[in-house]
Chain A
Amino acid sequence: SQKIEQNSEALNIQEGKTATLTCNYTNYSPAYLQWYRQDPGRGPVFLLLIRENEKEKRKERLKVTFDTTLKQSLFHITASQPADSATYLCALDEDNTDKLIFGTGTRLQVFP
Protein backbone atom coordinates (compact mmCIF):
# COMPACT_ATOMS: atom_id res chain seq x y z
CA SER A 1 0.00 0.00 0.00
CA GLN A 2 1.05 3.61 -0.42
CA LYS A 3 2.44 5.38 2.61
CA ILE A 4 4.11 8.66 3.46
CA GLU A 5 5.62 8.51 6.92
CA GLN A 6 7.16 11.18 9.08
CA ASN A 7 8.49 10.95 12.64
CA SER A 8 5.37 10.48 14.70
CA GLU A 9 7.09 11.54 17.89
CA ALA A 10 7.47 15.26 18.48
CA LEU A 11 10.97 16.59 18.01
CA ASN A 12 12.22 18.77 20.85
CA ILE A 13 15.40 20.73 20.31
CA GLN A 14 17.21 23.64 21.86
CA GLU A 15 17.28 27.03 20.24
CA GLY A 16 20.26 27.46 17.94
CA LYS A 17 20.55 23.78 17.05
CA THR A 18 19.71 22.21 13.72
CA ALA A 19 16.41 20.37 13.47
CA THR A 20 16.27 17.45 11.02
CA LEU A 21 12.92 15.99 10.01
CA THR A 22 12.44 12.87 7.91
CA CYS A 23 9.89 11.94 5.26
CA ASN A 24 9.84 8.37 3.91
CA TYR A 25 7.49 7.13 1.23
CA THR A 26 6.45 3.76 -0.14
CA ASN A 27 4.87 2.89 -3.49
CA TYR A 28 4.96 6.42 -4.85
CA SER A 29 7.04 7.87 -7.65
CA PRO A 30 6.95 11.58 -6.90
CA ALA A 31 8.22 14.00 -9.49
CA TYR A 32 8.27 16.70 -6.80
CA LEU A 33 8.31 16.78 -3.05
CA GLN A 34 7.11 19.74 -1.04
CA TRP A 35 7.39 20.80 2.59
CA TYR A 36 4.76 22.80 4.44
CA ARG A 37 4.45 24.33 7.88
CA GLN A 38 1.20 24.08 9.82
CA ASP A 39 0.43 26.03 12.96
CA PRO A 40 -2.39 24.86 15.28
CA GLY A 41 -5.83 25.55 13.81
CA ARG A 42 -4.39 26.98 10.58
CA GLY A 43 -3.94 25.81 7.02
CA PRO A 44 -0.60 24.49 5.74
CA VAL A 45 1.83 27.08 4.40
CA PHE A 46 4.29 26.22 1.64
CA LEU A 47 8.00 26.32 2.44
CA LEU A 48 10.05 24.53 -0.22
CA LEU A 49 9.75 22.34 -3.30
CA ILE A 50 12.39 19.96 -4.64
CA ARG A 51 12.33 18.09 -7.94
CA GLU A 52 13.23 14.43 -8.38
CA ASN A 53 16.41 15.33 -10.28
CA GLU A 54 17.58 17.73 -7.56
CA LYS A 55 19.56 16.41 -4.62
CA GLU A 56 19.32 19.48 -2.42
CA LYS A 57 17.49 22.81 -2.19
CA ARG A 58 18.09 25.70 0.18
CA LYS A 59 16.14 28.75 1.26
CA GLU A 60 17.52 30.91 4.04
CA ARG A 61 17.80 28.64 7.12
CA LEU A 62 15.96 25.77 5.42
CA LYS A 63 17.49 22.89 3.48
CA VAL A 64 15.76 19.95 1.83
CA THR A 65 17.31 16.83 0.36
CA PHE A 66 15.60 14.26 -1.85
CA ASP A 67 16.90 10.74 -2.36
CA THR A 68 14.70 8.82 -4.82
CA THR A 69 16.73 5.65 -4.28
CA LEU A 70 16.12 5.66 -0.54
CA LYS A 71 12.65 7.12 -1.10
CA GLN A 72 13.37 9.73 1.51
CA SER A 73 13.50 13.46 2.02
CA LEU A 74 15.23 15.24 4.88
CA PHE A 75 14.23 18.73 5.99
CA HIS A 76 16.70 20.78 8.01
CA ILE A 77 16.20 24.02 9.92
CA THR A 78 19.52 25.51 10.97
CA ALA A 79 19.91 27.94 13.87
CA SER A 80 16.41 27.02 15.02
CA GLN A 81 14.30 29.53 16.91
CA PRO A 82 11.25 29.14 19.18
CA ALA A 83 9.22 30.73 16.36
CA ASP A 84 10.03 27.64 14.25
CA SER A 85 7.87 25.54 16.58
CA ALA A 86 5.08 24.08 14.44
CA THR A 87 4.09 20.89 12.63
CA TYR A 88 5.98 20.25 9.40
CA LEU A 89 4.36 18.28 6.60
CA CYS A 90 5.91 16.71 3.55
CA ALA A 91 3.74 16.31 0.45
CA LEU A 92 4.23 14.27 -2.70
CA ASP A 93 3.37 15.42 -6.17
CA GLU A 94 3.34 12.65 -8.81
CA ASP A 95 3.73 13.59 -12.46
CA ASN A 96 0.53 12.05 -13.76
CA THR A 97 -1.88 13.32 -11.11
CA ASP A 98 -3.27 16.64 -9.93
CA LYS A 99 -3.32 15.80 -6.25
CA LEU A 100 -0.85 16.60 -3.52
CA ILE A 101 -0.66 13.87 -0.86
CA PHE A 102 0.51 14.75 2.64
CA GLY A 103 2.53 12.81 5.14
CA THR A 104 1.57 12.39 8.76
CA GLY A 105 3.52 15.46 9.92
CA THR A 106 6.13 15.98 12.61
CA ARG A 107 5.64 18.41 15.45
CA LEU A 108 8.76 20.44 16.18
CA GLN A 109 9.21 22.23 19.50
CA VAL A 110 12.17 24.58 19.85
CA PHE A 111 12.82 25.63 23.42
CA PRO A 112 14.96 28.57 24.55
Chain B
Amino acid sequence: EPEVTQTPSHQVTQMGQEVILRCVPISNHLYFYWYRQILGQKVEFLVSFYNNEISEKSEIFDDQFSVERPDGSNFTLKIRSTKLEDSAMYFCASRSYTGGGTEAFFGQGTRLTVV
Protein backbone atom coordinates (compact mmCIF):
# COMPACT_ATOMS: atom_id res chain seq x y z
CA GLU B 1 0.00 0.00 0.00
CA PRO B 2 1.39 3.44 -0.86
CA GLU B 3 2.52 5.50 2.10
CA VAL B 4 3.97 8.86 3.02
CA THR B 5 7.49 8.58 4.41
CA GLN B 6 9.26 11.12 6.58
CA THR B 7 12.88 11.46 7.59
CA PRO B 8 14.40 11.69 10.08
CA SER B 9 12.11 10.18 12.68
CA HIS B 10 13.78 12.25 15.39
CA GLN B 11 15.89 15.39 15.09
CA VAL B 12 17.62 17.20 17.92
CA THR B 13 18.94 20.65 17.17
CA GLN B 14 20.32 23.63 19.00
CA MET B 15 18.29 26.80 19.25
CA GLY B 16 19.06 29.12 16.35
CA GLN B 17 20.08 26.33 13.98
CA GLU B 18 18.36 25.58 10.70
CA VAL B 19 16.58 22.27 10.21
CA ILE B 20 15.13 20.60 7.16
CA LEU B 21 12.45 17.97 7.55
CA ARG B 22 11.93 15.67 4.61
CA CYS B 23 8.89 13.92 3.24
CA VAL B 24 8.14 11.71 0.26
CA PRO B 25 4.41 12.00 -0.48
CA ILE B 26 2.43 9.36 -2.33
CA SER B 27 3.53 9.52 -5.95
CA ASN B 28 0.32 10.42 -7.79
CA HIS B 29 -0.91 12.88 -5.16
CA LEU B 30 -1.18 16.56 -5.98
CA TYR B 31 -1.70 18.28 -2.62
CA PHE B 32 0.90 18.30 0.11
CA TYR B 33 0.74 19.49 3.69
CA TRP B 34 2.73 20.07 6.83
CA TYR B 35 1.12 19.88 10.24
CA ARG B 36 2.56 20.36 13.69
CA GLN B 37 1.57 18.73 16.98
CA ILE B 38 3.03 20.01 20.21
CA LEU B 39 3.07 17.29 22.86
CA GLY B 40 -0.41 16.76 24.26
CA GLN B 41 -2.00 19.30 21.94
CA LYS B 42 -3.99 19.29 18.72
CA VAL B 43 -2.77 18.65 15.19
CA GLU B 44 -2.25 22.16 13.76
CA PHE B 45 -2.25 23.06 10.07
CA LEU B 46 0.90 24.83 8.91
CA VAL B 47 0.83 24.95 5.11
CA SER B 48 -0.64 23.41 1.97
CA PHE B 49 1.21 23.15 -1.33
CA TYR B 50 -0.19 22.60 -4.81
CA ASN B 51 1.19 23.04 -8.29
CA ASN B 52 4.61 24.00 -6.93
CA GLU B 53 3.41 26.81 -4.76
CA ILE B 54 1.91 27.45 -1.36
CA SER B 55 -1.87 27.44 -1.62
CA GLU B 56 -2.62 28.25 2.02
CA LYS B 57 -0.73 28.85 5.22
CA SER B 58 -1.57 29.44 8.85
CA GLU B 59 -0.45 32.19 11.18
CA ILE B 60 2.12 29.79 12.61
CA PHE B 61 3.84 29.57 9.22
CA ASP B 62 5.83 32.80 9.45
CA ASP B 63 9.01 33.91 7.68
CA GLN B 64 11.05 31.35 9.62
CA PHE B 65 9.35 28.55 7.72
CA SER B 66 9.60 27.60 4.08
CA VAL B 67 8.58 24.62 1.96
CA GLU B 68 9.96 23.24 -1.23
CA ARG B 69 9.45 20.41 -3.66
CA PRO B 70 12.96 20.29 -5.04
CA ASP B 71 12.84 17.27 -7.32
CA GLY B 72 9.28 16.12 -7.98
CA SER B 73 9.30 13.49 -5.25
CA ASN B 74 10.56 15.10 -2.04
CA PHE B 75 8.67 17.75 -0.10
CA THR B 76 10.63 19.62 2.55
CA LEU B 77 9.93 21.92 5.46
CA LYS B 78 12.73 24.24 6.50
CA ILE B 79 12.87 26.13 9.75
CA ARG B 80 15.54 28.81 9.44
CA SER B 81 16.36 29.63 13.03
CA THR B 82 14.77 27.21 15.45
CA LYS B 83 13.27 28.30 18.75
CA LEU B 84 12.53 26.21 21.81
CA GLU B 85 8.82 26.49 21.05
CA ASP B 86 9.34 24.81 17.67
CA SER B 87 9.80 21.52 19.53
CA ALA B 88 6.95 19.34 18.31
CA MET B 89 6.01 16.43 16.11
CA TYR B 90 5.83 17.49 12.46
CA PHE B 91 3.62 15.52 10.14
CA CYS B 92 3.63 15.57 6.37
CA ALA B 93 0.46 14.58 4.51
CA SER B 94 -0.69 14.26 0.94
CA ARG B 95 -4.01 14.05 -0.90
CA SER B 96 -4.81 13.06 -4.46
CA TYR B 97 -7.16 16.02 -4.89
CA THR B 98 -9.38 18.14 -2.68
CA GLY B 99 -12.56 18.69 -4.68
CA GLY B 100 -15.17 16.14 -3.63
CA GLY B 101 -13.47 15.48 -0.31
CA THR B 102 -10.62 13.00 -0.09
CA GLU B 103 -8.70 11.45 2.73
CA ALA B 104 -5.30 12.72 3.74
CA PHE B 105 -2.47 10.24 4.12
CA PHE B 106 -0.06 11.10 6.90
CA GLY B 107 3.54 10.12 7.48
CA GLN B 108 4.77 8.82 10.79
CA GLY B 109 6.15 12.21 11.74
CA THR B 110 9.46 13.77 12.68
CA ARG B 111 9.91 14.58 16.33
CA LEU B 112 11.86 17.82 16.50
CA THR B 113 13.53 18.68 19.78
CA VAL B 114 15.12 22.12 20.09
CA VAL B 115 17.58 22.45 22.98
Contacts and interface: CB of A to CB of B under 8 A. Distances in A.
Interface of A: 31-32, 34, 38, 41-46, 49, 51, 89, 91, 93, 97-105
Contact of A34 (B44, B56, B103): B103
B101 A44 contact: no
B42 A32 contact: no
B109 interface: yes
A99 B48 contact: yes
A98 B56 contact: yes
Interface in B1-19: 4
A75 to B, nearest CB: 15
Contacts, number: 62
B109 A98 contact: no
Interface in B61-115: 89, 91, 93, 95, 98, 101-109, 111
B55 A100 contact: no
Contact of B43 (A34, A97, A98, A102): A102
Nearest to B9: A41
Contacts of B31: 98
Interface in B32-76: 33, 35, 42-45, 48, 50, 55-56
Contacts of A93: 98, 101
The 3 tightest CB contacts between A and B, nearest first, are A43-B106, A32-B101, A46-B103
B52 to A, nearest CB: 14
A107 to B, nearest CB: 10
B11 to A, nearest CB: 15
A109 B45 CA distance: 26
Given A93-B98, A98-B50, A102-B42, A46 B105 contact: yes
A102 B58 CA distance: 13
Greatest chain B CB density within 10 A among A43, A46, A102, A105 is at A43
Given A32-B101, A42-B108, A101 B45 contact: yes
